[in-house]
Amino acid sequence: MHRGRLLVHSSVSFKVETKEIVMKFTYKFALLSTIYMLVSCNSESHLDLSSFDIDSPVKKTDAINGFIITNSHNPLDVPEKFLKIQSLSAKLINQHWLENPNFILQITDLKMLLKSTNIVEANTYITTLEIAQKRYLKNMVAVRSQARFMQQDLDNTLNDYDQAIQVLTRELTLLETPEKTYQDNIKHLINDIKQATKKYSQLSNKYNKSLTTIINNDITSSSDLYDLRFSFVEGPHTLCSRYKGMDELLNKVLENCVYINKEQILSGFNEEDRIEVSSHIDNFAPRLWNQLISLNGFFDTNNNVQYFENSLRQQLSTARKDLRDKQNIQHIDIAKLVENYQTKISLLENQRQNILDNPLLTHDRKIDINQSSFVQSFQRLQTNVKNPIKPFAQKFHDPNLSNAFIRAYAKKTIQCYPSELIFTVSHTGAFSLPFSYKTQELVFDFHHNQQYLAFQGILTTSFPVVIKAGDSNVILRRGKSLTEKLNGRLREQWSKV
C-alpha cells in the first residue's frame, strides 16, 4: 500500500510541471506574436517630407515615384538604344556617303532603332532616312557608270605598258641570248613534237581498234561515224552544263568544259554493245584530249579562237621566229643597245607601278569607289548629284526637332523603367520596397515641383528605414525632375554628333 501511494504522488507532480511549461510557452508565444504585430504594423519605411521642405500636402494628388537602382538598372543612365541611335547617326553624317561601304546597312539599322522607340517625334527622322536610301540607290547608277569608264581607261593604260615592256623584254632577250641556245631549243622542241605525235597516234589507234572489234558487220563501211570529236567552252568545270547541243560533257577533264560526241557514237552500235563502247570512250577520250592540247592546242573553228597557246607546235613556231630575228640583228655595239633597253624597261615598269600604287585601286587592280580619290573625281564630274544624307543631317541638327525627340525619349525611358524596380510613396511619405534583396540606391522623383532625391547605400527590406534631411547618404537635387535630368544627359550625348 505504501508503495502504491508513492507512485500516485509522482504522477501528480509530473502533471503540474507539464502544465507550468505549457503556460510559460504560451505566454512567450503571445509576447512574440504581439511584438511581431507591432513591428508589422510599422514595417513601412518613411520619407520625412517635412524635413526636406517639400509641399506634399498641397499636392496630395501628385504621385511620388520611387526607383530602385541596381548594378544593371539606373533611370539616369543613357539607354544603350539611344547610344546606338547617336552613334549610327554620327557615322552617317560625319562620313561622305560614297566613302561609307556600309551606308545602306547603317540606314536600315538606324530606321529600325528609331521605329522601335515608338515615339511620334522619331517619324521625321525615319522619313528623311527613307529619302536618303532612295537617293543613294539612284546615285549609285552614276557612280558605277563613272567607275566603269575609269576601269576601262585604267585597263587600256596598263595593257599598253604591258605590251611595250613585253616588246622591249623580247628584244633584250634576243640581244643577250646566244644563237646556239635558240638552235638547241628548236631541236628539243622538234623531238618533243615527234614523241607527242607518236603518242597521240598510238592512243588514237588503240581507241579505233577497241571499237573495231565490236562494230557490227553491217555498218563497217560507216566507221567514220565513230570518230571522236571534241568541242571546248571556256569556263570552270563546276559551271559546265551536262550537255551542249548533241555533245556530252567529258567528266574526267576537270579543269574546263570539254564536250565529246559520245551519244552520236553510241547510236551506231547495237544496244547490247553500248555499255562496252561507253567504257572505251571514257577511257581514251580524256587521254586523247590532254595529248591533243599539249601537241597542238585547240582551235575553235566556230569562233576562230585559239586556246592553249603554249602547245608544243606554238612554242616551236615562236622559237623559229626568235632565231630568225636573232640572225637579223646586225648591230655592232650590242652592249650599248642592251643598256638602252634595260633603261627603257626600268622606266616603263616604274611608271606602271606608280599607277598600281594608286590607293584608288584594290589589290586585284579594280577601281575602289569608296576611296577618297574616287569620291573627289566623282564630285568634280557629277556636280548635279545630291548628297543623300543631307536632309537627315539638317533634321538631326534642328534644335526644335531634336529637343522634342529627346524630351519624349527621356519621358518614355522613365515611364518604361522596369516595374519591379518602381514603388510609390504616399503623400505622408510612407513606402514599401517591392522585394527583399539588396539595392544600391533609392531615387525619389518629385516631378510636380522639379526636384529629385537620392538615398545612397546598400538597403534591405527586413527593417523599415526613415529618410530625412541631413542624413549623410541623402542628396536632394532641386530645379530638375528625374525626367529633366535624363533629358539633359541625352541632349549632351546628342550634341556630340
Task: Flag the least confident range among 79-88, 218-227, 287-296, 370-379.
Answer: 218-227
On whether both 208 and 293 belong to a single domain, the answer is yes
The three grid cell numbers given for residue 391, joined into one nine-digit string: 536632309
With respect to residue 40, please indicate whether it lies within any of the assigned structural domains: no
On whether both 409 and 436 belong to a single domain, the answer is no
231 three-state secondary structure: strand
Q: What angle do CA 70, 75, 77 make, to 5 degrees?
A: 90
With respect to residue 89, please indicate whether it lies within any of the assigned structural domains: yes
With respect to residue 55, please indicate whether it lies within any of the assigned structural domains: yes
With respect to residue 371, please indicate whether it lies within any of the assigned structural domains: no
pLDDT band at 43 (very low <50, low <70, confident <90, very high): low
297 φ/ψ angles, rounded to the nearest 5 degrees: 75, -160
Of 8 and 75, the structure prediction assigns the larger pLDDT to 75
| Contact by Cβ (8 Å): 259, 249 | yes
Mean pLDDT score of the chain, rounded to an integer? 85
Picking from 366, 390, 416, the residue at the C-terminal end of a domain is 416
With respect to residue 35, please indicate whether it lies within any of the assigned structural domains: no
On whether both 266 and 287 belong to a single domain, the answer is yes
Q: For a pLDDT cut of 70, what percent of the chain falls above it?
A: 85
455 three-state secondary structure: strand
What Å distances lie between residue 5 and 15, 19, 320, 464, CA to CA? 16, 22, 148, 60
For 1-29, what is the mean pLDDT? 43
On whether both 444 and 310 belong to a single domain, the answer is no
| Contact by Cβ (8 Å): 258, 244 | no
Residues in the chain: 497
**Residue 330 pLDDT:** 66
For 48-59, what is the mean pLDDT? 69
With respect to residue 87, please indicate whether it lies within any of the assigned structural domains: yes
Q: Which domain holds residue 149?
A: 77-176+377-416
**Residue 27 pLDDT:** 45
- Give the model confidence (pLDDT) of 336-359 as tens digits: 888 888 999 999 999 999 988 888
Residue 413 has a CB neighbour count (10 Å cut-off) of 22
On whether both 142 and 205 belong to a single domain, the answer is no
On whether both 60 and 128 belong to a single domain, the answer is no
Query: How many domains does the chain divide into?
Result: 3
With respect to residue 31, please indicate whether it lies within any of the assigned structural domains: no
On whether both 387 and 461 belong to a single domain, the answer is no
199 three-state secondary structure: helix
110 φ/ψ angles, rounded to the nearest 5 degrees: -65, -40
- Give the model confidence (pLDDT) of 312-345 as tens digits: 999 999 999 999 988 887 666 788 888 888 999 9
**Residue 7 pLDDT:** 36
- Give the model confidence (pLDDT) of 450-486 as tens digits: 889 999 876 665 678 889 888 889 999 988 899 999 9
Sign of CA dihedral 397, 400, 406, 408: negative
On whether both 62 and 159 belong to a single domain, the answer is no
On whether both 166 and 90 belong to a single domain, the answer is yes
On whether both 117 and 151 belong to a single domain, the answer is yes
On whether both 65 and 133 belong to a single domain, the answer is no
Could you give the count of Cα atoms lying within 13 Å of 486 in the half-sphere of its Cβ? 25
Task: Flag the least confident range among 159-168, 365-374, 397-406.
Answer: 365-374
> What single-letter amino acid sits at 365?
R
pLDDT of 230 higher than 60: yes
**Residue 16 pLDDT:** 43
Residue 350 has a CB neighbour count (10 Å cut-off) of 9
- The CA distance from 304 to 230, in Å, is 15
With respect to residue 210, please indicate whether it lies within any of the assigned structural domains: yes
Of 479 and 298, the structure prediction assigns the larger pLDDT to 298
Picking from 287, 321, 355, the residue at the C-terminal end of a domain is 321
Picking from 285, 306, 321, the residue at the C-terminal end of a domain is 321
For 100-110, what is the mean pLDDT? 96
On whether both 254 and 384 belong to a single domain, the answer is no
**Residue 33 pLDDT:** 42
Sheet of strand 230-233: strand arrangement: 230-233, 257-260, 247-249, 243-244
